[in-house]
Chain A
Amino acid sequence: MTVSFMEGNEAIARGAIAAGCSFFAGYPITPATTIFASMLKLLPPKGGICVQGEDEIASMGYCMGAAMAGRKVLTATSGPGISLYSEQISFAIGSEIPMVIADVQRLGPSTGSATRGADSDIQFLRWGNTGGVPVIVLSPKDAEDCYLLTVHAFNYAEKYRCPVFVASNKEIGMTRESVDLDAIALPDLIKRTPYKGDNFIPFEAPENSAPPFLPIGCDTLVRQTSSTHGPDGYITIDPDTIAQVQQRLKDKILANEEELTLYEEKIRPDADTLVICYGVTSRAANQACDILAEQGKPVSTLTLKTLWPVPEKLIKEKAKDYKNIIMLEMNLGQYVGEIKKALPQKEVRFYGQMNRVLITPKTIMEVIENE
């Protein structure tokens, strides 16, 4: 056992390395900069590349170029940078370019508060691409999660050939805590496996899946375009072909909801209230519920680690036996609508806070007891 004292940002960097990442490009921004700093320590000694772009747009471009050349890539930023990434995010989605993007959220809008956390970008991450194509967003609650979810993120990026977001938060990213990375059971790594057949059709894929990958620069010529293209990678105007490609981009994420569902729960047998939350807020929620349990008032918690695609089946299943559902968020209600959509028969109460401070266990106890 090797316990170290590290912040969530370093854990993300270590997760990336564990997943086989060999390229990082970024532009300094609090509270994400220490991911960059950690990658600088970790990558070059392993022969990897870690560079600073002239801005976020450039950094994303480098990452995408490197991803297409066959590398597993990571970039990291916060709200203002995510905004600048968005056109490339659309390109990465449309052209099925695998990559992992860590968004260490700060309190927005705009420059907002660089050193104050909030889960500011939950809807922006989902809808920040033109085309409205579904994306994968994972939400860590602590440094251990930062490590583990980053490895999952790389796996999903490979399997589904898409950008995958790790929606961290300043409060996790820049707070040091004790973690034993070696004790964390990681999923099997999905390697970048180049296509082996003779007839490479760059965007031909079975239903609900991503196409096989061939990097730019090997024997077979690879072409990519940000324009609407068919399975053969050529620009197309054929409505049927376009419809099929759009449908597949959507299905490859949504049809795999269950496989993409990561969560944690603390079920208390006699509880009639379920608290649903994600991110750093879930730590306070669990503490609040522990105290309430000691007082003889059992309350269960469900912590979502996958926010997008919405783990609807999980939410329905876990919520079905509860009378009261309470949703907590470190914003003014970006995700509660998804919960309400999943649970149309239930009344979902909401507490949100976006004022530069963490939601405390005390506040959560009050919210629960006001039931």
Chain B
Amino acid sequence: MTKNAYDFKDYIRPRFFPHIWCAGCGHGIVLGSLLRAVHELELDKNEIVMTSGIGCSSRISGYVDFHSLHSIHGRAMTFATGVKLSKPKLKVMVPMGDGDALAIGGNHFIHAARRNIDLTAIVMNNKIYGMTGGQFSPLSGQGIKATTAPYLTIDNEFDVVELAKSAGASFVARSTTFHAVEATKLLKKAIMHKGFSVVEILSQCPTYYGRRNKLGDAVQMMEWYKTNTVKIGSKKLEKNPSLIQRGIFVEKKDAPEYCEEYNKIITAAMKGRG
């Protein structure tokens, strides 16, 4: 049960609009899913801190009416860690582009996961660098046309879910902008999860990724998410095991959380058992 009907205007800073995203960009849908999650969880705006880096995706922190820290490319996770360690009661969300999270920020991503610190990482994966004009990212994969790969990419991609899992994240999920309602559900779980949570949301960049790779407009790209992804454990998956899976991959409720563990150190040290 939520207090009022959802109105996105309660959660944004109108001053920042119109937003910078291109028509059809998936990042706005991610924003919508996230605001709904916050609304449904009945969180107070001032108990949320959003830290982001630099990129089209990272602009999201300017649009939300929470505490926000629009920082520098790839390092959002580090600022988030400092805030969270200092004030563990705050809910700290870290939306990132795929380049932001896994190229320049890859090291911070895996180490935050390893520590299982209670942050919510949202990887807005459009498989491309939008803001700088369509260069390939560590999530592009092979055979992709990008500004920096005119002869097609030869780099292999990371699988965010596998990477997050093996690095130690205690909640890992994936959805897409086509599945905005599902994304809200996953985000709610991720935000409430105690420990490092990762939600990858496939998000279309029609301007660079779509156009260069002849994937059609935003609607066609979202339809691609519909036909090429499948829920974990579904019948459809059994028949089409090569499709991209959506849903919750990891949910470990009792993995030790970093701030709580650190608190134990402080308690011991204060008793002189340091």
Q: Which residue numbers of A lie inside 8 Å of B, CB to CB?
A: 23, 25, 41, 44-49, 51, 53-55, 57-71, 87-88, 91, 216-227, 234-235
Contacts of B72 in A (CB 8 A): 87-88, 91, 226
For chain B, which range describes its interface: under 10, 10 to 19, 20 to 34, or 35 or more residues?
Answer: 35 or more
Q: Counting chain A CB atoms within 10 Å of each CB, which of B80, B82, B108, B272 scores highest? A: B82
**Contact between B274 and A227, CB atoms less than 8 A apart:** no
Within 8 A of A (CB), among B50-88: 51, 54, 62, 65-72, 75, 77-87
Closest 8 CB pairs of A and B: A65-B82, A61-B78, A44-B269, A69-B86, A62-B82, A225-B70, A65-B79, A54-B111
* The residue from B75, B82, B270 contacting A57, defined by CB atoms under 8 A apart: B75
Interface residue B250 (Cβ < 8 Å from any Cβ of A): no
**Chain B: minimal CB distance from A44 (Å):** 3
**Contact between A54 and B67, CB atoms less than 8 A apart:** no
Contacts of A71 in B (CB 8 A): 86
**Contact between A223 and B82, CB atoms less than 8 A apart:** no
A-B contact pairs, 5 of them (CB 8 A): A47-B270, A57-B108, A61-B108, A216-B69, A216-B87
**Contact between B83 and A224, CB atoms less than 8 A apart:** no
**Chain B: minimal CB distance from A202 (Å):** 11
A154 to B23, CA, bound (A): 48
Contacts of A67 in B (CB 8 A): 82
Interface residue B266 (Cβ < 8 Å from any Cβ of A): yes
Provided the pairs A54-B111, A217-B87 are in contact, do residues A223 and B272 lie with their beta carbons within 8 angstroms? no
Contacts of A41 in B (CB 8 A): 274
Contacts of A23 in B (CB 8 A): 82, 85-86
**Contact between B87 and A69, CB atoms less than 8 A apart:** yes
A66 to B262, CA, bound (A): 15
**Contact between A44 and B270, CB atoms less than 8 A apart:** yes
**Contact between A62 and B71, CB atoms less than 8 A apart:** no
**Contact between B85 and A66, CB atoms less than 8 A apart:** yes
**Chain A: minimal CB distance from B256 (Å):** 15
**Contact between A223 and B67, CB atoms less than 8 A apart:** yes
Provided the pairs A87-B72, A88-B75, A225-B62 are in contact, do residues A64 and B82 lie with their beta carbons within 8 angstroms? yes
**Contact between B266 and A66, CB atoms less than 8 A apart:** no
Told that A223-B68, A224-B70, A234-B16 touch, could you supply 13 new A-B pairs with CB distance under 8 A?
Answer: A23-B86, A54-B107, A54-B111, A58-B107, A62-B81, A64-B78, A64-B79, A65-B51, A70-B87, A219-B46, A221-B45, A222-B67, A223-B70
A234 to B70, CA, bound (A): 11
Within 8 A of A (CB), among B219-274: 262, 265-266, 269-270, 272, 274
Describe B's contact surface by its main secondary structure: helix
**Chain A: minimal CB distance from B67 (Å):** 5
* The residue from B45, B79, B108, B266 contacting A54, defined by CB atoms under 8 A apart: B108
**Contact between B51 and A226, CB atoms less than 8 A apart:** no
Interface residue B15 (Cβ < 8 Å from any Cβ of A): yes
Contacts of B79 in A (CB 8 A): 61-62, 64-65, 68
The total number of A-B Cβ pairs within 8 Å is 135
* The residue from B15, B16, B81, B262 contacting A65, defined by CB atoms under 8 A apart: B81
Interface residue B49 (Cβ < 8 Å from any Cβ of A): yes
Contacts of B103 in A (CB 8 A): none
Contacts of A224 in B (CB 8 A): 68-71
**Chain A: minimal CB distance from B55 (Å):** 12
Provided the pairs A54-B108, A217-B49, A217-B90 are in contact, do residues A45 and B78 lie with their beta carbons within 8 angstroms? no
**Chain B: minimal CB distance from A217 (Å):** 5
Contacts of B15 in A (CB 8 A): 234
* The residue from B65, B83, B111, B270 contacting A69, defined by CB atoms under 8 A apart: B83
**Contact between A25 and B90, CB atoms less than 8 A apart:** no
Contacts of A64 in B (CB 8 A): 78-79, 82
* The residue from A53, A227, A235 contacting B78, defined by CB atoms under 8 A apart: A53
**Contact between B75 and A49, CB atoms less than 8 A apart:** no
Contacts of B51 in A (CB 8 A): 65
Closest to B82 in A: A65
**Chain B: minimal CB distance from A24 (Å):** 11
**Chain B: minimal CB distance from A166 (Å):** 20
Provided the pairs A53-B78, A58-B78, A88-B75 are in contact, do residues A45 and B272 lie with their beta carbons within 8 angstroms? yes
**Chain A: minimal CB distance from B79 (Å):** 4
Provided the pairs A53-B78, A58-B78, A235-B62 are in contact, do residues A91 and B83 lie with their beta carbons within 8 angstroms? no
**Contact between B81 and A218, CB atoms less than 8 A apart:** no
Closest to B70 in A: A225
**Chain A: minimal CB distance from B246 (Å):** 30
Provided the pairs A65-B78, A91-B72 are in contact, do residues A70 and B107 lie with their beta carbons within 8 angstroms? no
Provided the pairs A44-B266, A55-B107, A234-B16 are in contact, do residues A49 and B86 lie with their beta carbons within 8 angstroms? yes
Contacts of A225 in B (CB 8 A): 62, 69-70
Contacts of B54 in A (CB 8 A): 226
A25 to B86, CA, bound (A): 12
* The residue from A48, A61, A216, A222 contacting B75, defined by CB atoms under 8 A apart: A61
A216 to B82, CA, bound (A): 11
A234 to B67, CA, bound (A): 13
A23 to B72, CA, bound (A): 21
A interface footprint on B9-51 (CB within 8 Å = 1, 0 otherwise)? 0000001100000000000000000000000000001110101
A220 to B107, CA, bound (A): 33
Provided the pairs A57-B75, A234-B15 are in contact, do residues A66 and B83 lie with their beta carbons within 8 angstroms? yes
